[in-house]
Amino acid sequence: MFSAITLGQADTPAPTEISVGAYLSMTGATATFGVATHEGIQLAIELYNVRAKRKVKLRVIDTAGKPSEGAVAVTRLIDDGAVAIIGEVSSSITLAGAAVAQQRGIPMITPSATHPNITDAGDMISRTCLTDDAQAYAIAKFAKGQRWKRVSILFDQQQPYSVGMVTAFESAYK
């Protein structure tokens, strides 16, 4: 039986491309970050593909900075054959997409979504940046070092990034 399985696999050619998906805010309020992230991903893929036997092919879906588009974009990328997902730049959009990637068993990495709960989606989800907690701790430590008696915080109450950062800062500053 082993030889039959092995022979069957030998007849199937290995794919020549690796399909990677990215869901990014290419338009909308956070487009500056999405476009810059896309350029970085493109550069990394170009450098990798110079020497690679199996080339990486990138497919990008624009979320337009809308949290409601996160899960939709990740579902489309996976349905189209992506074996890994890169994105999103914003925590609110990443939270929605991470749940889909985890459920479908596809690894996802975010370069900039900082909300602490993102990696709680499961073992398929990772990040390359500091969490809100870590950043807020550093800011609080700096503020304490300045011996400021009062600190004012202006933030967007509708954004998980802002809310998470403020909550962590308040906790660390006490």
Side-chain-side CA neighbours of 150 within 13 Å: the count stands at 1
Q: Which CATH architecture has domain 9-127?
A: 3-Layer(aba) Sandwich (3.40)
By the 10 Å C-beta count (0-12 exposed, 13-18 middle, 19+ buried), 85 is classed as buried
Is residue 2 pLDDT above 50, yes or no? no
Lowest-pLDDT choice from 111-120, 122-131, 154-163: 154-163
Say how far apart CA 118 and CA 99 lie, in whole Å: 9
171 vs 69, 93, 147, 152, 157, CA distance in Å? 32, 25, 17, 14, 17
Average pLDDT along the chain: 90
Is residue 132 pLDDT above 70, yes or no? yes
Is residue 164 pLDDT above 90, yes or no? no
Q: Which of 37, 106, 41, 30 is nearest to 75 (CA)?
A: 106
- What's the pLDDT score for residue 112? 93
Query: Which amino acid is present at 40?
Result: G
Domain locations in the chain as residue ranges: 9-127, 132-173
Residue 70: which H helix or E strand, with range? helix 68-79
- What's the pLDDT score for residue 161? 76
Give the confidence band of 8 by pLDDT, cuts at 50, 70, 90.
very low
Is residue 1 pLDDT above 50, yes or no? no
Stronger pLDDT, 92 or 126, i.e. the higher one: 126
pTM of the model: 0.80
Give the confidence band of 159 by pLDDT, cuts at 50, 70, 90.
confident
